[in-house]
Amino acid sequence: MTPEQLAAQLAQQADRASAAFARSLSRVWREAERRLGTLIRSAQDGPTATIRGVQAAALRSQLRTVLRDAGYDALAETATAAPLDRLSSLLLSSRSDLAELVARPRLEALQALHRLDLLDEGDALSRNLWDSVARGLFARVDTEDLLAELAWRFDRADAQIATLYDTAVSIYTRQVELLDAGDSPDTRYLYSGPDDEKTREFCQQHVGQTYTRAEIDALDNGQIGPVILTGGGYNCRHVWMEVSRFAEA
């Protein structure tokens, strides 16, 4: 298999994994919204501010449970297991000489981190839902208006969480650059990606600059390595783009 063919296969598998995750996530949101509707309607039945306050406090822990019961945590587990395993198997079976470079323990560590990232996003979503619910209950917002606001929260979370998952998948496809580039310490790479307010310090220092493979291997992003695969770490939007020997240094 040529590197280009492997790249195409990895890209196909990555797309399938992302699409499957997006579909499953939609089902989770629909289930969560259904459960949330029941919860909100019963919480709004309290006639006095005190009762509403007590119900709101109880709701806080129930919101995270809603997500869990709707299948979010289970999805985070399954989406970071088999699909990512398939990608790494495809890679390693094609290039067994990469075993040390992209060792299975490193890939497993990355999988675990991505799983935690997804679960953290679930926690963040339940906190955002709580903000809306608490304000809605005390202000006696109409139930349907409150549910509409919660639906908007789910929409925002959907885009963010899907992007997070896509990032996890893209780390595996980054291997392809390395496959074709080879292992020469003199191969040069350009650190490419956005440079804006969301760019972390490590990436700001290096974006737009070229380094040899040896120089990259000596870098430390302070999160997870190797830097040639993970860039700046979690949710990094940057990649190491091989540059031509004919390019100006």
Partner 1 sequence: MGVHVLRNFPPLAGLPLTSREVMREVGLLARQRIYERTTGGQDMHGQAFKPYSQSYQTAKARELGSTGVNLQVSGAMLNALTIIEVTDHSVTLGFR
Residues in contact with partner 1 by CB under 8 A are 4, 7-8, 10-11, 163, 166, 170, 173, 176-177, 180, 190, 192-194, 196-198, 208, 237-239, 241-247
Nearest-approach distance from CB 93 to partner 1, in angstroms:
19
Residue 10 Cβ, how far from partner 1 at the closest point, in Å? 8
Residue 36: left (phi > 0), alpha (psi -120 to 50), or beta? Answer: alpha
Name which of 126, 122, 144 is nearest 77 in CA terms: 122
Residue whose CB is less far from partner 1, 42 or 204: 204
Looking at beta carbons only, is 101 or 243 nearer to partner 1?
Answer: 243
Q: How far is the CB of 238 from partner 1 (least distance, A)?
A: 6
Query: Residue 37 or residue 226: which is nearer to partner 1 going by CB?
Result: 226
Minimum CB distance to partner 1 smaller for 73 or for 166: 166
**Smallest distance from the beta carbon of 134 to partner 1, in angstroms?**
25
**Identity of the residue, 39 or 239, whose beta carbon is nearer to partner 1 in the bound complex:** 239
3-state SS, the chain, equals CCHHHHHHHHHHHHHHHHHHHHHHHHHHHHHHHHHHHHHHHHHCCCCCHHHHHHHHHHHHHHHHHHHHHCCHHHHHHHHCCHHHHHHHHHHHHHCHHHCCCCCHHHHHHHHHHHHHHHHHHHHHHHHHHHHHHHHHHHCCCCHHHHHHHHHHHHHHHHHHHHHHHHHHHHHHHCHHHHHHHCCCCCCEEEEECCCCCCCCHHHHHHCCCEEEHHHHHCCCCCCCCCHHHHCCCCCCCCEEEECCCCCCC
- The nearer residue to partner 1, 64 or 238, going by C-beta atoms, is 238
Least distance from partner 1 to the Cβ atom of residue 53, Å = 34
Which tokens is 30 given?
A: 């629909």
Query: In angstroms, how far apart are the furthest CA atoms of the chain?
Result: 76
Q: How far is the CB of 106 from partner 1 (least distance, A)?
A: 21
In terms of CB distance, is 89 or 163 closer to partner 1?
163
> Considering the complex, what minimum distance in angstroms separates the CB of residue 78 from partner 1?
24
